[in-house]
């Protein structure tokens, strides 16, 4: 519980800072995946809440206090872990997909630079 | 922002890869995802909760029903998106102030308030709101009288809370629409009050 003691001394974020709901487009996408999975009955609110809180607790245990900005980083990590635990995908499949996406991006950029 | 551009690019790549895999397996539909984002960014927001609060100020029977079963009242107003989640309304009075938190993650009454503000998701708020709510409120600029009881509601996946703030003085004769415009998001979390009287 040492982490909690430290948390008790952290200062609060200002309520004045008005930020958009999603700071980056990927955050909106990661959010929408979870909503879709819940709405289609593939994921319950309970399970998601448990998984997200486990991810947040683990991060706090590592001393990575969430300043709100990193919130969706933990959200994404919880979502990846969910899909792997459920054997919907596997870590290596996700890694391959990332590589394929990266290659596709490079290719598209090359194409755009070539075009007049 | 704490994160630099390369990190954001990495999160972006991870998200897109995950979405591609889930789409290929028929578990999500990108078009439906766009609609979800659009809905949460533009349509659902604190104005929905504010409408419920304002009506509860002018209609005692409505207020009774809202406090008894907020979920049912919200459904009557065509507020959707509850899933299995219950919605409970708690009313501030001159002697009771309610504050909502989610100590575990960031459970929040999305259907009536939209997406949670950053400060609500912050570790410090999540930890401290239950330990020392008065200090938290004081730091938020709300200095409650000692006689005022502070009740902290810890949201869960099953139950979300909506605070009904006290109606501010000097608003007699205002229409429901005018009153709705006075109700702030943070007042419905309990982080601020709209009243001047009763507090210092």
Query: What is the residue-wise DSSP string for A63-94?
Result: T----STTHHHHHHHHHHHHHHHTTSS-HHHH
DSSP character for B187? G
Domain boundaries, chain B: 5-42, 45-188
Q: Are A106 and A65 in contact (CB under 8 A)?
A: no
- B81 HSE (CA, 13 A, CB side): 19
**Cα–Cα distance for residue pair B101/B153, rounded to 1 Å:** 6
**Cα–Cα distance for residue pair A76/A31, rounded to 1 Å:** 8
Q: Are B185 and B117 in contact (CB under 8 A)?
A: yes
**Which of chain B's residues have a Cβ under 8 Å away from the Cβ of A37?**
27-28
pLDDT for the residue numbered A70: 83
Q: Which residues in chain B land under pLDDT 50?
A: 1-3, 196-200
Most confident stretch, A9-18, A21-30, B44-53: B44-53
Per the CB < 8 Å rule, is B22 touching A83? Answer: yes
The whole-model pTM stands at 0.79
Nearest CA in chain A to B114: A21
B130-186 pLDDT, tens digit per residue, is: 999 999 999 999 999 999 999 999 998 889 999 999 999 999 999 999 999 999 999
Neighbours of A77 (CB within 10 A): 19
A31 SS3 class: helix
Per the CB < 8 Å rule, is B11 touching A12? Answer: no
B102 annotated active-site = yes
The position carrying tokens 């755009």 is A112
Give alpha helix (H) positions in chain B: 5-24, 30-38, 46-58, 60-68, 70-76, 110-113, 118-121, 123-131, 133-139, 176-182
Angstroms from B131 CA to nearest CA on chain A:
8
Per the CB < 8 Å rule, is B8 touching A26? Answer: yes
Q: Is the pLDDT of residue A112 over 80?
A: no
> Which residues numbered 39-58 in A keep a CB inside 8 Å of some CB on B?
39-40, 42, 44-46, 48-50, 52-53, 56
**Which of chain A's residues have a Cβ under 8 Å away from the Cβ of B46?**
none
Burial of residue B5 (number of CB atoms within 10 Å: 0-12, 13-18, 19+): exposed
DSSP character for B83? T
Per the CB < 8 Å rule, is B13 touching A101? Answer: yes
Mutate: best of B6, B11, B15, partner A, most A CBs <10 A: B15
B105 annotated active-site = yes
Which among B13, B85, B122 has CB closest to A67?
A: B122
Per the CB < 8 Å rule, is A32 touching B36? Answer: yes
Q: What's the CATH number of domain B45-188, 3.20.20.10, 3.30.479.30, 3.90.330.10, 3.60.20.30?
A: 3.90.330.10
**ipTM confidence score:** 0.83
pLDDT for the residue numbered B59: 97
What percent of chain A stands above pLDDT 90? Answer: 48
Long-range contacts from B122-126, C-beta under 8 angstroms, 24+ separation? B122/A12, B122/A13, B122/A66, B122/A67, B122/A68, B123/A7, B123/A10, B123/A56, B123/A60, B123/A65, B123/A66, B123/A67, B124/A7, B124/A10, B124/A11, B124/A12, B124/A13, B124/A65, B125/A12, B125/A13, B125/B101, B126/B101, B126/B102
């Amino acid at each position: 519980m040492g982490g909690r003691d430290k948390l008790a001394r952290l200062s609060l974020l200002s309520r004045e800072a008005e930020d958009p709901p999603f700071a980056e487009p990927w955050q909106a996408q990661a959010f929408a995946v979870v909503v879709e999975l819940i709405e289609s009955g593939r994921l319950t609110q309970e399970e998601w809440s448990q998984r997200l809180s486990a991810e947040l607790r683990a991060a706090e245990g590592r001393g990575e206090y969430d300043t709100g900005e990193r919130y969706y980083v933990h959200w994404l990590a919880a979502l990846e872990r969910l899909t792997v635990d459920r054997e919907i995908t596997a870590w290596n499949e996700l890694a391959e997909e990332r590589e394929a996406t990266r290659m596709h991006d490079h290719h598209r950029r090359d194409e755009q630079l070539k075009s007049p | 922002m704490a994160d630099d551009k390369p990190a954001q690019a990495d999160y972006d790549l991870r998200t897109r890869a995950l979405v591609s895999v889930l789409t290929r397996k028929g578990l999500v539909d990108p078009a439906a995802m766009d609609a979800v984002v659009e809905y949460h960014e533009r349509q659902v927001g604190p104005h929905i909760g504010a409408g419920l609060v304002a009506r509860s100020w002018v209609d005692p029977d409505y207020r009774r029903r809202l406090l008894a079963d907020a979920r049912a009242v919200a459904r009557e107003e065509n507020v959707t998106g509850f899933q299995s989640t219950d919605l409970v309304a708690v009313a501030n009075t001159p002697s009771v102030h309610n504050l909502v938190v989610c100590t575990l993650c960031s459970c929040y009454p999305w259907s009536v308030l939209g997406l949670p503000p950053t400060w609500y998701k912050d570790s410090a708020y999540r930890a401290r709101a239950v330990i020392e709510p008065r200090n938290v409120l004081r730091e938020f600029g709300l200095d409650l009288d000692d006689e005022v009881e502070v009740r902290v509601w810890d949201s869960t996946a099953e139950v979300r809370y909506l605070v009904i703030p006290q109606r501010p003085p000097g608003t007699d004769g205002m229409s429901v629409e005018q009153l709705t415009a006075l109700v702030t998001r943070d007042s419905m979390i309990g982080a601020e009050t709209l009243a001047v009287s009763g507090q210092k």
